[in-house]
């Protein structure tokens, strides 16, 4: 018999406990206390209000790993075309591989490499004055996600989970869609010293079991439900008098979330009920269980179901493992083709469902590529952290604007520099948080995502 309400679960648990009492002389008193006591509920993932009303309720964070070239994609610099081949010290100017043209009523200049994204230009808040910590992949990736380039700290998604909790008790508050590990591995979505329930749960696209160990292993749902009820009661009894231990509460909560995921997670990444029109919008063939388009649709489905922070990590293409194209910039072509249509489709899909106003879509990379190149690296571009591009969409941001001014070649930021700390502070602000007040005491210090370096919310991108 399938259990479908709380009373049935309670009755089954009670029968199991009574059976234990009748069959043992050792634990009747413990069990009787357990049946009588009602432990105070402590849930580290309970929904919480931010510091002030935020425009965004959730984030879909698209991370293009490897360092996408800003000057070949979104940061139009006419001087690169005009001065192609011009010597600058030991380097020379290299023009982009692709042409640019204006898109939308806003006239945003976007490379031919992203025609679908260009079709939603009037929804984009394009930041062309980003700068970050270092041109090293691992340190820049860690810094972008955690605010620290050396020692791992809680990730942006973990901070959002800690600050807001979850809107769906059967799904994690922070999910990462990644079929391969990014630079710095799982620390990119780690919780570190925050309660463990706030770390990202990885979903592996294309896998027979996208979330590891989420399938039911027991033959009877009733038996598993009874066991979970008993474990829950024992956990709550153990928690009495230890309410101030966040790690214990988080561990208990992780068991509860895991049980709920068995019910809801498989349905979330089952796209069989998506319409043909939706799949066509994203460019996904029915029955396909991996690839960036699949990740984008699943991200939208998770956002619909109350997941607070969904990170989508680009897997690369058949010709390039990521955007780190030192020797051949032409590889940016298939990389862009993999993500272009799904990104535009996600924005259109969210808008059509009335979700774009309170969903913040972030499109970013760890740094850009050098506008000038050496003769030994003339077909590719090196790492460049002093100026690059990122995009914000929806969630309280201005639409159809380009923010920040690089120099003529896109080497340095000339006006309105946005450091990675400023970028994260702005994301938190859109969710309703003062980045200086969203803190957690650890080892005698109050830590925050944006560290102690001076940084600011970028007010020029706020609607």
Could you read off the pLDDT of 358-378 as tens digits, one per residue?
999 999 999 999 999 987 777
pLDDT of residue 235: 64
pLDDT tier at 31 (50, 70, 90 boundaries)?
very low
What pLDDT, in 10s, does the model give residues 196-216? 889 999 999 988 777 765 555
Whether residue 359 sits in one domain with residue 248: no
Mean pLDDT score, 440-448: 95
pLDDT tier at 98 (50, 70, 90 boundaries)?
very high
- Among the three residues 268, 283, 302, which one is the final residue of a domain in this structure? 268
pLDDT of residue 229: 64
Mean pLDDT score, 321-329: 92
Expressed as residue numbers, the domain containing 326 is 57-210+275-461
- Inside any domain, residue 27: no
Whether residue 439 sits in one domain with residue 378: yes
pLDDT tier at 28 (50, 70, 90 boundaries)?
very low
**pLDDT over threshold 60, residue 379:** yes
**pLDDT over threshold 70, residue 396:** yes
**pLDDT over threshold 50, residue 194:** yes
Whether residue 130 sits in one domain with residue 232: no
Whether residue 258 sits in one domain with residue 165: no
Whether residue 149 sits in one domain with residue 128: yes
Question: Among 57-71, 177-191, 421-435, which stretch is predicted with the lowest mean pLDDT?
Answer: 177-191
pLDDT tier at 263 (50, 70, 90 boundaries)?
low
- Inside any domain, residue 307: yes
Whether residue 202 sits in one domain with residue 220: no
Q: SS3 sequence, the chain?
A: CCCCCHHHHHHHHHHHHHHHHHHCCCCHHHHHHHHHCCCCCCCCCCCCCCCCCCCCCEEEEEECCCCCCCCCCCCCCHHHHHCCCCEECCEEECCCCCCEEEECCCCEEEECCCHHHHCCHHHEEEEEEEECCCCCHHHHHHHHHHCCCCCCCCCHHHHHHHHHCCCCCCCCCEEEECCCCCCCHHHHHCCCCCCHHHCCEEECCCCCCCCCCCCCCCCCHHHHHHHHHHHHHHHHHHHCCCCCCHHHHHHHHHHHHHHHHHHHHHHHCCCCCCCHHHHHHHCCCCCCCCCHHHHHHHHHHHHHCCCCEEEEECCCCCCCCCCCCCCCHHHHHHHHHHHHHHHHHHHHHHHHCCCHHHEEEEEECCCEECCEECHHHCCCCCEECCCEEEEEECCCECCCEEECEECCCCCCEEECCEEHHHHHHHHHHHCCCCCCCCCEEECCEEECCCCCCCCCCCHHHEC
Would the CA dihedral through 207, 210, 214, 219 be positive or negative?
Answer: negative
Mean pLDDT, all residues of the chain: 86
pLDDT of residue 33: 41
- Inside any domain, residue 126: yes
pLDDT tier at 241 (50, 70, 90 boundaries)?
low
Mean pLDDT score, 266-276: 90
- Among the three residues 242, 268, 294, which one is the final residue of a domain in this structure? 268
Question: What's the CATH number where 194 sits?
Answer: 3.40.720.10
Number of domains in the chain: 2
Whether residue 206 sits in one domain with residue 253: no
- Inside any domain, residue 17: no
- Inside any domain, residue 52: no
Whether residue 225 sits in one domain with residue 84: no
- Among the three residues 247, 268, 289, which one is the final residue of a domain in this structure? 268
pLDDT of residue 55: 98
What pLDDT, in 10s, does the model give residues 175-185? 999 988 999 99
- Inside any domain, residue 26: no
Whether residue 90 sits in one domain with residue 236: no
**pLDDT over threshold 80, residue 16:** no
- Inside any domain, residue 155: yes
Mean pLDDT score, 218-242: 61
- Inside any domain, residue 291: yes
Whether residue 416 sits in one domain with residue 343: yes
Whether residue 220 sits in one domain with residue 205: no
pLDDT of residue 377: 74
Mean pLDDT score, 291-296: 96
| Residue that wins the pLDDT comparison between 232 and 398 | 398
What pLDDT, in 10s, does the model give residues 113-157? 999 999 999 999 999 999 999 999 999 999 999 999 999 899 999
Whether residue 234 sits in one domain with residue 194: no
């Amino acid at each position: 018999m399938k259990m479908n309400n709380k009373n049935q679960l309670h009755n089954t648990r009670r029968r199991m406990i009574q059976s234990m009492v009748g069959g043992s002389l050792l634990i009747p008193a413990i069990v009787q206390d357990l049946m009588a006591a009602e432990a105070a509920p402590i849930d580290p993932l309970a929904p919480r209000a931010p510091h002030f009303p935020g425009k965004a309720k959730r984030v879909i964070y698209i991370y293009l790993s490897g360092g996408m070239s800003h000057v070949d994609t979104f940061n139009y610099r006419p001087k690169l075309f005009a001065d192609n081949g011009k010597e600058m010290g030991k380097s020379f100017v290299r023009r982009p591989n692709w042409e640019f043209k204006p898109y939308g009523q806003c006239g945003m200049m976007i490379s031919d490499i992203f025609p679908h994204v260009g079709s939603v230009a009037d929804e984009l808040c394009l930041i062309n004055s980003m700068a970050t910590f270092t041109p090293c992949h691992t340190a820049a990736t860690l810094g972008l996600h955690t605010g620290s380039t050396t020692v791992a700290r809680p990730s942006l998604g973990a901070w959002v989970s800690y600050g807001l909790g979850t809107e769906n008790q059967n799904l994690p508050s922070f999910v990462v869609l990644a079929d391969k590990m990014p630079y710095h591995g799982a620390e990119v979505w780690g919780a570190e010293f925050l309660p463990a329930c706030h770390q990202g749960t990885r979903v592996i696209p294309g896998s027979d079991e996208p979330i590891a160990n989420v399938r039911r292993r027991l033959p009877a749902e009733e038996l598993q439900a009874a066991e979970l009820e008993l474990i829950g009661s024992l956990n709550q009894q153990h928690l009495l008098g230890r309410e101030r231990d966040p790690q214990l509460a988080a561990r208990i909560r992780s068991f509860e979330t895991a049980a709920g995921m068995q019910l809801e997670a498989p349905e979330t990444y089952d796209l069989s009920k998506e319409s043909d029109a939706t799949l066509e919008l994203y460019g996904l063939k029915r029955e396909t269980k991996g690839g960036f388009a699949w990740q984008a649709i699943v991200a939208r489905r998770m956002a619909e179901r109350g997941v607070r922070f969904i990170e989508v990590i680009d897997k690369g293409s058949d010709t390039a493992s990521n955007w780190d194209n030192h020797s051949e910039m032409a590889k940016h072509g298939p990389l862009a083709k993999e993500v272009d249509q799904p990104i535009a489709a996600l924005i259109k899909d969210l808008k059509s469902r009335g979700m774009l106003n309170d969903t913040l879509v972030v499109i970013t990379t760890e740094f850009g590529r050098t506008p000038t190149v050496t003769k030994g690296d003339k077909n590719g571009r090196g790492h460049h952290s002093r100026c690059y591009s990122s995009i914000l969409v929806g969630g309280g941001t201005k639409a159809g604007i380009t923010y920040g001014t690089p120099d003529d070649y896109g080497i340095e930021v000339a006006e309105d520099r946005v450091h990675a700390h400023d970028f994260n502070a702005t994301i938190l602000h859109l969710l309703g948080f003062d980045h200086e007040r969203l803190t957690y005491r650890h080892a005698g210090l109050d830590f925050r995502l944006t560290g102690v370096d001076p940084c600011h919310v970028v007010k020029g991108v706020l609607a």
